[in-house]
Amino acid sequence: MLAANMDGPNHPAAMPLPSMPRGNARTIGLRVNGEDVRIDVEPDRFLVDVLRDDLGLTGTKIGCEVGVCGLCAVLVDGHLATGCLTLAVLAEGRSIVTVEGLAGADGTLSPVQAAFIRHGGFQCGICTPGQVIAATALLREMPRPSDAEIGAWMMGSLCRCSGYEGIRAAIRAAAESGGDGT
């Protein structure tokens, strides 16, 4: 039934979104990857766009733009969030961590990033930043997740290359090493 409605004129993707009047920019403060940032944003801009376009943090990817694929995953105050659904103005005063912010100041990869490399937790790489962010959030919530918990948690991060076994192996390895990247 859903598929029949997906290509009709009433499907949300087919309907134009109302536009906010320009010129209503507001200065917000964020802490992005450990650095304080003040930036002017229009009220209808999403966090993923501000991160990528204004701050140059292109590790956070854009995919479905409806919060389903997980490519735009970031940590907001330590919790997993979809950047394509989070209005930037609503992130004011919060701490944002992107995949670029997981590595140490000296460039040392986080345990999750290192495990993804060691265990082949990526293929084409488009999903990798979101997968790494989601895995980091998982290990903060559940330091020793079962395979079922890994599967359930990572369900919102899609991999079009079917690299799921390498992703699961990387998460298990990072959990065994006791590292979530914090």
pLDDT tens track for 130-159: 999 999 999 999 999 999 999 999 998 988
pLDDT tens string 90-112: 999 999 999 999 999 999 999 99
Would you list the DSSP string of 110-169?
PHHHHHHHHTT--SSSSSHHHHHHHHHHHHHH-SS--HHHHHHHGGGS--TT--HHHHHH
CA 65, 67, 73, 75 torsion-angle sign: positive
Taking the C-alpha atoms of residue 101 and residue 81, their distance in angstroms, rounded to an integer, is 15
What are the structural domains, with CATH classification, of the chain? 25-101 (3.10.20.30), 111-176 (1.10.150.120)
pLDDT at 180: 61
Handedness of CA 59, 62, 63, 68 (dihedral sign): positive
80 has pLDDT over 70:
yes
For 64-83, what is the mean pLDDT? 96
**Residue 4 pLDDT:** 35
Judge whether residue 175 has pLDDT over 60. Answer: yes
Closest-CA residue to 48 (of 13, 85, 76, 23) = 85
Contact (CB, 8 A) for 83 and 74: yes
Mean pLDDT value across residues 67-80: 96
More confident residue, 72 or 20: 72
Pairwise CA distance, residues 84 & 136, whole Å: 19
Q: How far apart are CA 3 and CA 36, in angstroms?
A: 44
Which helix H or strand E contains 28, and what residues bound it? Answer: strand 26-32
CA pair distance 86, 131, nearest whole angstrom: 18
Q: Global pTM? A: 0.85
Of the pLDDT bands very low, low, confident and very high (cuts 50, 70, 90), residue 11 is very low
Over residues 16-39, mean pLDDT: 84
> Following CA atoms 64, 175, 112, 147 in sequence, which dihedral angle do they give, to the nearest 10 degrees?
-30
